[in-house]
Amino acid sequence: MSALDGSRLWRVAEAFHGEGCVSAIDPLGSGNVNDTYLVNSAGGLSVLQRINTAVFQRPELVMHNLHQLSLHMQRKLQQGHPALGSRRWEHPQLICTRSGDQTWHCCEAGGFWRSLSFIPQADTVDVIAGAAQARELGSGLGVFHSLISDLPVDALADPLEGFHITPLYLEAYRRALAAAPPPTDDASRFCMAFIRDREALAPLLEEAKGRGELPLRPIHGDPKINNVMLDRSNGRAVALIDLDTVKPGLVHYDIGDCLRSCCNPLGEETTDLNGVVFDLPLAAAILEGYLAEAGALLTAQEVALLPDAARLISFELGLRFFTDHLNGNVYFKARHPQHNLQRALVQFRLTASIEAQMEPLRQLVRRLQGTQGQPA
Protein backbone atom coordinates (compact mmCIF):
# COMPACT_ATOMS: atom_id res chain seq x y z
CA MET A 1 0.00 0.00 0.00
CA SER A 2 1.18 3.59 -0.55
CA ALA A 3 2.23 5.81 2.37
CA LEU A 4 -1.00 7.79 2.02
CA ASP A 5 -3.12 4.66 1.92
CA GLY A 6 -1.24 3.24 4.90
CA SER A 7 -1.78 6.40 6.94
CA ARG A 8 -5.49 6.47 6.12
CA LEU A 9 -5.83 2.76 6.91
CA TRP A 10 -4.15 3.29 10.26
CA ARG A 11 -6.60 6.08 11.15
CA VAL A 12 -9.54 3.87 10.23
CA ALA A 13 -8.27 1.07 12.48
CA GLU A 14 -7.76 3.54 15.31
CA ALA A 15 -11.38 4.68 14.94
CA PHE A 16 -12.35 1.23 16.24
CA HIS A 17 -9.47 0.54 18.64
CA GLY A 18 -8.24 3.93 19.85
CA GLU A 19 -5.36 6.20 18.94
CA GLY A 20 -1.99 4.60 19.62
CA CYS A 21 -3.53 1.17 20.22
CA VAL A 22 -2.83 -0.37 16.81
CA SER A 23 0.51 -2.10 16.30
CA ALA A 24 0.16 -3.81 12.90
CA ILE A 25 -2.14 -4.02 9.87
CA ASP A 26 -1.73 -6.68 7.19
CA PRO A 27 -3.81 -7.76 4.16
CA LEU A 28 -6.01 -10.78 4.88
CA GLY A 29 -7.66 -13.29 2.56
CA SER A 30 -8.31 -13.32 -1.17
CA GLY A 31 -11.83 -11.95 -1.52
CA ASN A 32 -13.04 -10.74 -4.90
CA VAL A 33 -15.15 -7.81 -3.63
CA ASN A 34 -14.21 -6.23 -0.28
CA ASP A 35 -10.79 -5.15 1.05
CA THR A 36 -9.88 -7.08 4.20
CA TYR A 37 -7.08 -6.59 6.76
CA LEU A 38 -5.89 -8.25 9.94
CA VAL A 39 -5.37 -5.70 12.72
CA ASN A 40 -3.22 -6.25 15.78
CA SER A 41 -4.15 -3.87 18.57
CA ALA A 42 -3.99 -3.62 22.33
CA GLY A 43 -7.17 -5.68 22.46
CA GLY A 44 -5.74 -8.48 20.30
CA LEU A 45 -6.45 -9.47 16.71
CA SER A 46 -9.46 -8.26 14.72
CA VAL A 47 -10.61 -8.03 11.12
CA LEU A 48 -11.02 -4.69 9.35
CA GLN A 49 -13.00 -4.50 6.12
CA ARG A 50 -13.88 -1.83 3.62
CA ILE A 51 -17.23 -2.68 2.08
CA ASN A 52 -17.26 -2.25 -1.67
CA THR A 53 -20.04 0.32 -2.04
CA ALA A 54 -19.97 -0.03 -5.82
CA VAL A 55 -21.36 -3.52 -5.18
CA PHE A 56 -23.25 -2.96 -1.91
CA GLN A 57 -24.79 0.41 -2.68
CA ARG A 58 -26.69 0.45 0.61
CA PRO A 59 -24.08 -0.85 3.07
CA GLU A 60 -26.29 0.07 6.02
CA LEU A 61 -28.54 -2.83 4.99
CA VAL A 62 -25.54 -5.16 5.15
CA MET A 63 -24.83 -3.93 8.67
CA HIS A 64 -28.51 -4.30 9.66
CA ASN A 65 -28.42 -7.96 8.64
CA LEU A 66 -25.13 -8.56 10.42
CA HIS A 67 -26.60 -7.09 13.59
CA GLN A 68 -29.74 -9.24 13.36
CA LEU A 69 -27.68 -12.33 12.64
CA SER A 70 -25.28 -11.58 15.49
CA LEU A 71 -28.12 -11.22 18.03
CA HIS A 72 -29.67 -14.46 16.81
CA MET A 73 -26.40 -16.38 16.92
CA GLN A 74 -25.58 -15.10 20.40
CA ARG A 75 -28.88 -16.48 21.67
CA LYS A 76 -28.31 -19.82 19.97
CA LEU A 77 -24.79 -20.20 21.28
CA GLN A 78 -25.80 -19.19 24.81
CA GLN A 79 -28.78 -21.53 24.90
CA GLY A 80 -27.06 -24.42 23.19
CA HIS A 81 -28.39 -26.07 20.05
CA PRO A 82 -28.73 -29.74 19.06
CA ALA A 83 -26.76 -29.09 15.86
CA LEU A 84 -23.70 -28.13 17.88
CA GLY A 85 -23.28 -31.07 20.24
CA SER A 86 -19.66 -30.88 21.36
CA ARG A 87 -18.65 -28.91 18.28
CA ARG A 88 -16.84 -25.61 18.72
CA TRP A 89 -18.78 -22.91 16.85
CA GLU A 90 -18.06 -19.21 16.69
CA HIS A 91 -19.61 -16.21 15.03
CA PRO A 92 -17.79 -12.98 14.06
CA GLN A 93 -18.93 -10.16 16.35
CA LEU A 94 -19.22 -6.53 15.27
CA ILE A 95 -16.85 -4.11 17.02
CA CYS A 96 -18.17 -0.59 17.68
CA THR A 97 -16.20 2.57 17.06
CA ARG A 98 -14.51 4.29 19.99
CA SER A 99 -16.70 7.37 19.60
CA GLY A 100 -19.99 5.62 20.25
CA ASP A 101 -22.20 2.66 19.44
CA GLN A 102 -21.73 2.89 15.68
CA THR A 103 -20.76 -0.41 14.07
CA TRP A 104 -19.24 1.23 10.99
CA HIS A 105 -16.93 4.11 10.19
CA CYS A 106 -16.84 6.39 7.13
CA CYS A 107 -13.33 7.67 6.45
CA GLU A 108 -12.41 11.03 4.92
CA ALA A 109 -12.10 9.39 1.51
CA GLY A 110 -15.68 8.12 1.71
CA GLY A 111 -14.85 4.49 2.46
CA PHE A 112 -17.38 2.49 4.49
CA TRP A 113 -15.54 0.38 7.07
CA ARG A 114 -16.39 -2.17 9.74
CA SER A 115 -14.45 -4.18 12.28
CA LEU A 116 -15.13 -7.76 13.34
CA SER A 117 -13.80 -10.10 15.97
CA PHE A 118 -11.08 -12.50 14.78
CA ILE A 119 -11.72 -16.24 15.00
CA PRO A 120 -8.54 -17.82 16.41
CA GLN A 121 -6.97 -21.18 15.67
CA ALA A 122 -8.92 -21.61 12.45
CA ASP A 123 -8.14 -21.28 8.75
CA THR A 124 -9.82 -21.37 5.38
CA VAL A 125 -8.76 -23.32 2.29
CA ASP A 126 -9.02 -22.47 -1.40
CA VAL A 127 -8.84 -26.03 -2.74
CA ILE A 128 -10.34 -29.07 -1.07
CA ALA A 129 -8.01 -31.67 0.44
CA GLY A 130 -10.22 -34.77 0.18
CA ALA A 131 -13.49 -36.43 1.07
CA ALA A 132 -13.15 -35.98 4.85
CA GLN A 133 -12.66 -32.25 4.48
CA ALA A 134 -15.51 -32.10 1.96
CA ARG A 135 -17.86 -33.76 4.41
CA GLU A 136 -16.87 -31.28 7.08
CA LEU A 137 -17.44 -28.32 4.77
CA GLY A 138 -20.92 -29.66 4.07
CA SER A 139 -21.48 -30.19 7.78
CA GLY A 140 -20.44 -26.61 8.50
CA LEU A 141 -23.00 -25.24 6.07
CA GLY A 142 -25.62 -27.56 7.54
CA VAL A 143 -24.87 -26.37 11.07
CA PHE A 144 -25.11 -22.75 9.93
CA HIS A 145 -28.47 -23.37 8.26
CA SER A 146 -29.73 -25.19 11.36
CA LEU A 147 -28.72 -22.31 13.62
CA ILE A 148 -30.42 -19.67 11.46
CA SER A 149 -33.44 -21.74 10.41
CA ASP A 150 -35.75 -19.92 12.84
CA LEU A 151 -34.40 -16.43 12.11
CA PRO A 152 -37.48 -14.74 10.58
CA VAL A 153 -36.84 -13.84 6.95
CA ASP A 154 -38.77 -10.59 7.44
CA ALA A 155 -36.11 -9.52 9.97
CA LEU A 156 -33.55 -9.46 7.14
CA ALA A 157 -33.13 -6.83 4.45
CA ASP A 158 -32.02 -7.59 0.92
CA PRO A 159 -28.61 -5.87 0.67
CA LEU A 160 -27.97 -6.97 -2.89
CA GLU A 161 -31.21 -7.08 -4.84
CA GLY A 162 -31.16 -9.60 -7.64
CA PHE A 163 -28.30 -11.62 -6.12
CA HIS A 164 -28.56 -15.23 -7.36
CA ILE A 165 -31.63 -14.40 -9.46
CA THR A 166 -30.22 -16.02 -12.59
CA PRO A 167 -32.71 -14.54 -15.11
CA LEU A 168 -31.58 -11.05 -14.03
CA TYR A 169 -27.94 -11.99 -14.65
CA LEU A 170 -28.95 -13.20 -18.10
CA GLU A 171 -30.57 -9.83 -18.79
CA ALA A 172 -27.45 -8.02 -17.57
CA TYR A 173 -25.33 -10.18 -19.86
CA ARG A 174 -27.48 -9.30 -22.86
CA ARG A 175 -27.12 -5.60 -22.09
CA ALA A 176 -23.34 -5.92 -21.72
CA LEU A 177 -23.09 -7.88 -24.95
CA ALA A 178 -25.09 -5.25 -26.81
CA ALA A 179 -22.95 -2.42 -25.46
CA ALA A 180 -19.52 -4.03 -25.95
CA PRO A 181 -17.59 -4.29 -29.22
CA PRO A 182 -18.34 -7.68 -30.85
CA PRO A 183 -15.90 -10.20 -29.30
CA THR A 184 -13.61 -11.79 -31.85
CA ASP A 185 -11.47 -14.10 -29.70
CA ASP A 186 -12.23 -17.82 -29.53
CA ALA A 187 -12.68 -17.85 -25.74
CA SER A 188 -15.38 -15.18 -25.82
CA ARG A 189 -17.14 -16.84 -28.74
CA PHE A 190 -17.13 -20.11 -26.77
CA CYS A 191 -18.71 -18.36 -23.79
CA MET A 192 -21.37 -16.74 -25.96
CA ALA A 193 -22.32 -20.06 -27.54
CA PHE A 194 -22.31 -21.82 -24.17
CA ILE A 195 -24.70 -19.23 -22.71
CA ARG A 196 -26.94 -19.27 -25.77
CA ASP A 197 -27.36 -23.05 -25.53
CA ARG A 198 -28.38 -22.86 -21.86
CA GLU A 199 -30.56 -19.75 -21.63
CA ALA A 200 -33.59 -21.89 -20.83
CA LEU A 201 -31.83 -23.11 -17.68
CA ALA A 202 -31.81 -19.65 -16.06
CA PRO A 203 -35.35 -19.47 -14.57
CA LEU A 204 -35.49 -23.02 -13.18
CA LEU A 205 -35.24 -22.23 -9.46
CA GLU A 206 -37.13 -18.95 -9.65
CA GLU A 207 -40.04 -20.64 -11.44
CA ALA A 208 -40.11 -23.38 -8.79
CA LYS A 209 -40.19 -20.67 -6.13
CA GLY A 210 -43.02 -18.92 -7.97
CA ARG A 211 -45.02 -22.17 -7.98
CA GLY A 212 -44.61 -22.38 -4.20
CA GLU A 213 -42.38 -25.45 -4.35
CA LEU A 214 -39.36 -23.76 -2.76
CA PRO A 215 -39.76 -21.59 0.36
CA LEU A 216 -37.72 -18.52 1.22
CA ARG A 217 -35.32 -19.17 4.07
CA PRO A 218 -32.48 -17.18 5.67
CA ILE A 219 -29.31 -18.05 3.75
CA HIS A 220 -25.62 -17.16 3.75
CA GLY A 221 -25.61 -16.27 0.06
CA ASP A 222 -21.94 -17.03 -0.65
CA PRO A 223 -20.76 -20.17 1.19
CA LYS A 224 -17.91 -21.00 -1.16
CA ILE A 225 -15.04 -23.11 0.08
CA ASN A 226 -12.95 -20.27 1.56
CA ASN A 227 -15.85 -18.85 3.56
CA VAL A 228 -15.94 -21.86 5.89
CA MET A 229 -13.40 -21.74 8.71
CA LEU A 230 -11.85 -25.01 9.86
CA ASP A 231 -10.35 -25.70 13.29
CA ARG A 232 -6.58 -26.09 13.03
CA SER A 233 -6.51 -28.85 15.64
CA ASN A 234 -9.15 -31.21 14.27
CA GLY A 235 -10.25 -29.88 10.87
CA ARG A 236 -13.87 -29.38 11.92
CA ALA A 237 -15.89 -26.42 10.67
CA VAL A 238 -16.14 -23.72 13.32
CA ALA A 239 -17.66 -20.72 11.53
CA LEU A 240 -18.94 -19.23 8.31
CA ILE A 241 -17.54 -15.82 7.40
CA ASP A 242 -18.08 -13.19 4.69
CA LEU A 243 -21.68 -12.61 5.75
CA ASP A 244 -22.50 -9.58 3.58
CA THR A 245 -24.88 -11.58 1.43
CA VAL A 246 -27.00 -13.01 4.27
CA LYS A 247 -30.58 -12.48 3.13
CA PRO A 248 -33.89 -14.27 2.48
CA GLY A 249 -33.34 -16.71 -0.37
CA LEU A 250 -33.35 -20.33 -1.47
CA VAL A 251 -31.11 -22.88 0.25
CA HIS A 252 -30.24 -24.02 -3.28
CA TYR A 253 -28.17 -20.89 -3.78
CA ASP A 254 -26.05 -21.88 -0.78
CA ILE A 255 -25.81 -25.61 -1.42
CA GLY A 256 -25.22 -25.08 -5.14
CA ASP A 257 -22.43 -22.60 -4.43
CA CYS A 258 -20.84 -24.92 -1.88
CA LEU A 259 -20.87 -27.81 -4.37
CA ARG A 260 -19.62 -25.59 -7.19
CA SER A 261 -16.66 -24.25 -5.25
CA CYS A 262 -15.67 -27.45 -3.47
CA CYS A 263 -16.09 -30.09 -6.16
CA ASN A 264 -13.67 -28.63 -8.69
CA PRO A 265 -10.40 -29.86 -7.16
CA LEU A 266 -8.36 -27.33 -9.18
CA GLY A 267 -10.31 -24.35 -7.82
CA GLU A 268 -11.93 -21.46 -9.67
CA GLU A 269 -8.63 -19.65 -10.35
CA THR A 270 -7.03 -22.49 -12.31
CA THR A 271 -5.73 -21.97 -15.84
CA ASP A 272 -5.82 -25.72 -16.59
CA LEU A 273 -9.21 -25.86 -18.29
CA ASN A 274 -8.77 -29.47 -19.37
CA GLY A 275 -8.38 -30.47 -15.73
CA VAL A 276 -11.63 -28.87 -14.57
CA VAL A 277 -14.07 -31.58 -13.48
CA PHE A 278 -16.95 -31.91 -11.06
CA ASP A 279 -15.78 -34.54 -8.57
CA LEU A 280 -18.81 -36.68 -7.76
CA PRO A 281 -17.27 -38.42 -4.71
CA LEU A 282 -16.54 -34.99 -3.22
CA ALA A 283 -20.14 -33.97 -3.92
CA ALA A 284 -21.33 -37.11 -2.13
CA ALA A 285 -19.23 -36.23 0.91
CA ILE A 286 -20.47 -32.63 1.00
CA LEU A 287 -24.10 -33.64 0.70
CA GLU A 288 -23.72 -36.38 3.30
CA GLY A 289 -22.28 -33.85 5.74
CA TYR A 290 -24.89 -31.23 4.93
CA LEU A 291 -27.93 -33.48 5.06
CA ALA A 292 -26.77 -35.09 8.31
CA GLU A 293 -26.97 -31.64 9.92
CA ALA A 294 -29.80 -29.92 8.07
CA GLY A 295 -31.60 -32.54 5.97
CA ALA A 296 -34.61 -32.61 8.29
CA LEU A 297 -35.19 -28.89 7.62
CA LEU A 298 -35.76 -29.40 3.90
CA THR A 299 -38.80 -30.60 2.00
CA ALA A 300 -38.56 -33.48 -0.42
CA GLN A 301 -38.95 -31.03 -3.32
CA GLU A 302 -36.03 -28.95 -2.08
CA VAL A 303 -33.76 -31.98 -1.84
CA ALA A 304 -34.78 -33.26 -5.27
CA LEU A 305 -33.63 -30.01 -6.92
CA LEU A 306 -30.14 -30.00 -5.39
CA PRO A 307 -28.46 -31.42 -8.55
CA ASP A 308 -30.09 -28.69 -10.62
CA ALA A 309 -28.81 -26.11 -8.14
CA ALA A 310 -25.21 -27.27 -8.55
CA ARG A 311 -25.51 -26.95 -12.32
CA LEU A 312 -27.34 -23.62 -12.26
CA ILE A 313 -25.06 -21.83 -9.78
CA SER A 314 -21.96 -22.91 -11.72
CA PHE A 315 -23.55 -21.59 -14.92
CA GLU A 316 -24.67 -18.42 -13.13
CA LEU A 317 -21.19 -17.60 -11.84
CA GLY A 318 -19.69 -18.18 -15.28
CA LEU A 319 -22.34 -15.85 -16.69
CA ARG A 320 -21.46 -13.20 -14.10
CA PHE A 321 -17.72 -13.49 -14.73
CA PHE A 322 -18.17 -13.20 -18.49
CA THR A 323 -20.53 -10.24 -18.12
CA ASP A 324 -17.99 -8.49 -15.91
CA HIS A 325 -15.32 -9.17 -18.52
CA LEU A 326 -17.50 -7.54 -21.17
CA ASN A 327 -18.12 -4.58 -18.82
CA GLY A 328 -14.40 -4.01 -18.22
CA ASN A 329 -13.97 -5.86 -14.88
CA VAL A 330 -15.96 -3.46 -12.72
CA TYR A 331 -17.42 -5.94 -10.19
CA PHE A 332 -14.91 -8.69 -9.46
CA LYS A 333 -11.31 -7.82 -8.68
CA ALA A 334 -9.14 -8.78 -11.66
CA ARG A 335 -5.36 -9.13 -11.80
CA HIS A 336 -5.28 -8.72 -15.59
CA PRO A 337 -7.77 -7.81 -18.36
CA GLN A 338 -8.58 -11.45 -19.24
CA HIS A 339 -8.92 -12.64 -15.65
CA ASN A 340 -12.72 -12.74 -15.50
CA LEU A 341 -12.88 -14.34 -18.94
CA GLN A 342 -10.61 -17.10 -17.65
CA ARG A 343 -12.79 -17.48 -14.57
CA ALA A 344 -15.88 -17.75 -16.78
CA LEU A 345 -14.28 -20.51 -18.83
CA VAL A 346 -13.56 -22.48 -15.63
CA GLN A 347 -17.16 -22.23 -14.49
CA PHE A 348 -18.54 -23.22 -17.87
CA ARG A 349 -16.22 -26.25 -18.00
CA LEU A 350 -17.47 -27.15 -14.52
CA THR A 351 -21.09 -26.74 -15.66
CA ALA A 352 -20.47 -29.08 -18.58
CA SER A 353 -18.90 -31.65 -16.25
CA ILE A 354 -21.95 -31.50 -13.97
CA GLU A 355 -24.23 -31.93 -16.97
CA ALA A 356 -22.34 -35.04 -18.01
CA GLN A 357 -22.97 -36.53 -14.55
CA MET A 358 -26.51 -35.35 -13.84
CA GLU A 359 -28.07 -38.81 -13.66
CA PRO A 360 -25.46 -40.20 -11.22
CA LEU A 361 -25.83 -36.98 -9.20
CA ARG A 362 -29.61 -37.40 -9.08
CA GLN A 363 -29.18 -41.02 -8.01
CA LEU A 364 -26.83 -39.90 -5.28
CA VAL A 365 -29.32 -37.35 -3.97
CA ARG A 366 -32.16 -39.89 -4.06
CA ARG A 367 -30.02 -42.33 -2.08
CA LEU A 368 -29.14 -39.71 0.51
CA GLN A 369 -32.72 -38.46 0.63
CA GLY A 370 -33.82 -41.97 1.52
CA THR A 371 -31.60 -41.90 4.61
CA GLN A 372 -32.96 -38.58 5.86
CA GLY A 373 -36.25 -37.96 7.60
CA GLN A 374 -38.11 -35.30 5.62
CA PRO A 375 -40.51 -32.84 7.23
CA ALA A 376 -44.19 -33.22 6.46
**pTM of model > 0.85:** yes
CATH 3.90.1200.10: which residues of the chain? 131-370
Give pLDDT tens digits for 168-226. 999 999 999 999 999 999 999 999 999 999 999 999 999 999 999 999 999 999 999 99
Give pLDDT tens digits for 324-361. 999 999 988 899 999 999 999 999 999 999 999 999 99
Taking domain 131-370, whether its CATH number is 3.90.1200.10 is answered by yes
Q: Collect all residues with Cβ–Cβ distance below 8 Å to 144 and sequence separation of at least 6.
A: 220, 223, 240
Residues written for the chain: 376
Residue 2 has pLDDT above 70, yes or no: no
The three-class DSSP label of residue 72 is helix
Give pLDDT tens digits for 269-328. 999 999 999 999 999 999 999 999 999 999 999 999 999 999 999 999 999 999 999 999
CATH 3.30.200.20: which residues of the chain? 3-120
Give pLDDT tens digits for 131-166. 999 999 999 999 999 999 999 999 999 998 899 999
DSSP per residue, 157-204: --SSTTTT-HHHHHHHHHHHHHHSPPP-SHHHHHHHHHHHHTGGGTTH
Q: Report the CATH architecture of 3-120.
A: 2-Layer Sandwich (3.30)
